[in-house]
Amino acid sequence: MKSVKTKAWVTALLALACGPGAQAQVSSTPGYPAKPIRLISPFAPGGGASLVARMIGPELGEALGQTIVIDNRPGGGGVVGTEIAARSLPDGYTLLMATLSNAVINPLVSKVSYDPVRDFTAIAHTSTVPLILVVHPSVPAHTVKAFIAYARSPSARVNFASSGEGAANHLAAELFKSMTGVSMAHVPYRGGGLAIIDIVAGHVQTGFMNILEALPHVNSGRLRGLAVSTSKRSSVAPAIPTVAESGVPGYEVTQWSGVLGPAGLPRGIVTRLNAEIMTILGRSAMRERLISSGAEPGGGSPEQFAAIIKSDTAKWSKVLKTVKLEIVR
């Protein structure tokens, strides 16, 4: 009994010493979670963010003893769902599956109501995913150089699909255009899954698509994979070269996903969620599942994930100064 009273007395002193914010944090962590948790995926079902959320969600729910409800809220290249998450209470019951698109690029290219640093709490980096330049089989090109030549020809009318205006795959194509001088018209969709459907159907000729979404279609022959956007080849598709080694030196775009919470999320909840997600990502079955889908498992502390967001914000701010882009929502 004496040790229990002493522990409670020490905890109370620490909370008082750290101020009101720390008191709220100490009192909010015990008993969490006491109800189902909503994990918002701001893109349509079938997209890369949704796929990662649905891989991790059930195991996270099992670890926490609560159901993880995957809530797809597509629209505006990820803006709609991200704004909902930013306005949510910082109680740990509404989380966001963030990507480079909605967390970094959207605030740089259009007016949104959220700031990726000010309005969110970084929790866990879940995966790093290459984009893959795919074309419909009717396009007479089997290499990036051949595709550039085709797109430059006067008779070509090339359209590219994206998961939404301002999304990472939209910017990847715009960067490709600026570095190669090709002409392509943008066709935005409400998610990568919908964009893939129309490329497979031949309604749109090409796109830089999330490899998780596109690789099954490449493997089946319904799409042709020309190159990956990252600086290194993908371990799941090592025969597909990078854009940089295919004649566009210096080209590099890396998509990632990770879990964010609203700003002000108590440290105890952040630490708990990060620890559980890192445990899940460390399991061999989960790693194999992600890698076989084309994703490299993420990792690290909340602070390391926050550093990735800050670094990419600085990088894309510089890139967008050279890419003429106007987003109208």
> Which of 246, 269, 291 finishes a domain?
246
Q: Cβ(135)–Cβ(141) under 8 Å?
A: yes
Q: Which residues contact 13 (CB under 8 A, 6 or more apart)?
A: none
**For position 219, which CATH number holds?**
3.40.190.10
Q: Are residues 9 and 87 in the same domain?
A: yes
Strands (E), the chain: 37-41, 68-72, 94-99, 120-135, 159-162, 185-188, 206-210, 224-228, 254-262, 296-297
- How many domains does the chain fold into? 2
In a domain, 283, yes or no: yes
Each residue's pLDDT expressed in tens, for the chain with a length of 329 residues: 444 333 344 333 333 333 343 333 433 467 999 999 999 999 888 777 888 999 999 999 999 999 999 999 988 778 999 999 999 999 999 999 999 988 998 888 888 999 988 999 999 999 998 999 999 999 999 999 999 999 999 989 999 999 888 788 998 999 999 999 999 999 999 888 899 999 999 999 999 998 888 999 999 999 999 999 999 999 889 999 999 999 999 999 988 999 999 999 999 999 999 999 999 999 999 999 998 888 889 999 999 999 999 999 988 888 888 776 656 55
In a domain, 329, yes or no: no
Q: Cβ(295)–Cβ(211) under 8 Å?
A: yes
Q: Are residues 228 and 269 in the same domain?
A: no
Q: Which residues contact 189 (CB under 8 A, 6 or more apart)?
A: 44, 161, 162, 163, 164, 195, 198
259's tokens: 């879990």
Q: Are residues 40 and 116 in the same domain?
A: yes
Per DSSP, 251 falls in state -
In a domain, 328, yes or no: no
**For position 35, which CATH number holds?**
3.40.190.150
Q: Are residues 300 and 224 in the same domain?
A: no
Q: Are residues 10 and 113 in the same domain?
A: yes
**Alpha-carbon span 37 to 310, nearest angstrom:** 27
Give residue 285's domain range. Answer: 2-129+254-322
Q: Are residues 240 and 261 in the same domain?
A: no
Q: Which of 150, 51, 168 is nearest to 99 (CA)?
A: 168
Q: Are residues 106 and 193 in the same domain?
A: no
Q: Which of 77, 67, 4 is nearest to 38 (CA)?
A: 67
Q: Are residues 150 and 202 in the same domain?
A: yes
Q: Are residues 236 and 258 in the same domain?
A: no
- pTM for this entry: 0.76
Q: Cβ(243)–Cβ(182) under 8 Å?
A: no
